[in-house]
Chains A and B, each alone.
Chain A
């Protein structure tokens, strides 16, 4: 139960801190920001991989494998596409400075 309480505190604290930071991001970067945070939620892939270390009946493992595919798609695709987008933003900026 102590662990769970800790998790709840972590949840609330990061929610607040993250929220305060996000209020400062200029609207022009909202799409890349959303795409980046979106990629972060792909960290569920960690949970999916950890499932394999537990005793799980047969075909549930294929469900866990599907979760890995989806999570990896989210994680890798998200960071890659954000990087591409921010590349467009940088192109000019680097010329001018």
Chain B
């Protein structure tokens, strides 16, 4: 294939990729967009393979096909089986696989060039960066996968002298890359392998300090890094297609990281570097928990009454809803309320799930009517006309302290204004503050009904009680 033809192919594949992103503007066209990008990419890869010099290496083709079959089958099976609550772990795992692939390709390219001096300085630099970033992405992504799949403790881990350690490792990495450039007659294999190993350690050190509610930021950032690794890997092996696709992935990841940081009112640096500024304050728990039923009506009865009475209800799902696996009951409750003639909407904070947009996927899987889902910016003005805000597994994202109190870790963070509703029903696990450690004044508010415990069970009971006509009759009698 001649160079102009190759250029046309590369540009065409890249255009479909960019167009595919454009199709993601609406959920109606996004699926088509995804399929178009997949097709374009596979066609692009095949076309790029055809003109390569395969003479004399035909024997390797079996190995290639075998490796392709293993990777693809594993990918397809995992993708078909994974539970939607585990999507963030799945994305993190794929990210790790992408990082690993980029690191290994760069590594082999460097090892190869130690035997023939055909590799230019720039390509060598790119290969070393691809190796370093890819290996760090791989290690960081595995930590993130473990956390998101609940195999590892989800809270942030800070080692003694964490910043010094991270900075030291980063320094050594930079020095090693420079060394690899200076010793350029051949890139010494021990140096290259040392570089990869150090990068793995750095990836772990970087990832373990990010935990809990900061995970959406970490996963977006790792997404950006895997793109960057692929792009450098592309420069190293001289593949335009790889470079361009990697750069676009990286841009997407960086923008999502930025969006997440804005949604949490935190800076990149405070999460990835200074991190964990908010050592979980001792929870002033239990002082309110469940003890408000000195009014002889139980919180559950109050909740049912409030739901019956309200005309306009706003459901605020949070991270806890995903933890309790309560998305299906939440959607059924919304349907039930709509049947009863009430206006019901979902108000969704950008960090409501475990990765950007995760809550929408969870609710979509539970077959929610997408017209009922609203983002923070579109819905916040409606809380003041809402009769009942139903909070399910959310704390920080509805904490009025973010607006009213200065100097807390969440001050200034955009929150859903649930406290403006006439009444608030809280279906959280317990009275502990959210990840930020800031107490939520809503829990003390006289207009709040506090229904502690497993959200899934509680919502299911509420649905049963609402469907039960005897309760209604007895209530009116």
Contact = CB atoms under 8 A, between A and B. Distances in A.
B155 interface: no
B78 A77 contact: yes
- Give the most central of B41, B94, B250: most A CB within 10 Å: B94
Interface of A: 1, 3-4, 6-8, 10-12, 14-19, 21-57, 60-61, 63-93, 96-97
A4 B84 contact: no
A79 B38 contact: yes
B54 A85 contact: no
A43 B375 contact: no
A19 B249 contact: no
Interface stretch (B64-72, B162-170, B202-210, B432-440): B64-72
Given A4-B122, A38-B94, A25 B251 contact: no
Interface of chain B, main secondary structure: helix
Nearest to A90: B31
Interface stretch (B101-109, B172-180, B448-456): B101-109
Contacts of B240: 6-7, 10
Contact of B101 (A3, A17, A45, A53): A45
B75 A72 contact: yes
Given A36-B34, A67-B105, A61 B63 contact: yes
Given A4-B120, A11-B231, A74-B101, A30 B356 contact: yes
A22 B251 contact: yes
Nearest to A91: B367
A4 to B, nearest CB: 5
Contacts of B269: none
Interface string B68-99: 10111011101110101001101100110110
A21 B21 contact: yes
B252 A19 contact: yes
B120 A44 contact: no
8 contacts: A10-B244, A24-B22, A30-B356, A70-B100, A77-B97, A79-B37, A90-B28, A92-B367
Contacts of A78: 75, 79, 94
Contacts, number: 380
Nearest to B115: A57
What class of interface size applies to chain B in its complex with A?
A: 35 or more
Interface string B41-54: 10011001100111
Given A43-B41, A92-B367, A75 B75 contact: yes
B235 interface: yes
Given A66-B104, A69-B70, A88-B361, A14 B251 contact: yes
Contacts of B60: 52, 61
B182 interface: no
Contact of A38 (B38, B67, B95, B247): B95
Contacts of B75: 72-78, 80
Given A42-B97, A67-B105, A88-B364, 6 more contacts: A22-B255, A30-B356, A30-B357, A73-B75, A73-B94, A77-B94
Given A52-B57, A68-B67, A77-B76, A57 B87 contact: no
A81 B122 CA distance: 36
B251 A31 contact: no
Nearest to B19: A21
B457 interface: no
B91 A38 contact: yes
B100 A93 contact: no
Contacts of A83: 31, 34-35, 38
Contacts of B370: 28, 89, 92-93
Contacts of A10: 240, 243-244, 247
Contacts of A3: 238
A18 B30 contact: no
Given A64-B108, A66-B104, A7 B235 contact: yes
Interface string B354-390: 0111101100110111110101000000000000000
A72 B42 CA distance: 11
B254 to A, nearest CB: 7
B246 interface: yes
A40 B64 contact: no
A12 to B, nearest CB: 8
B230 A52 contact: no
Interface stretch (B219-227, B305-313, B421-429): B219-227
A43 B241 contact: yes
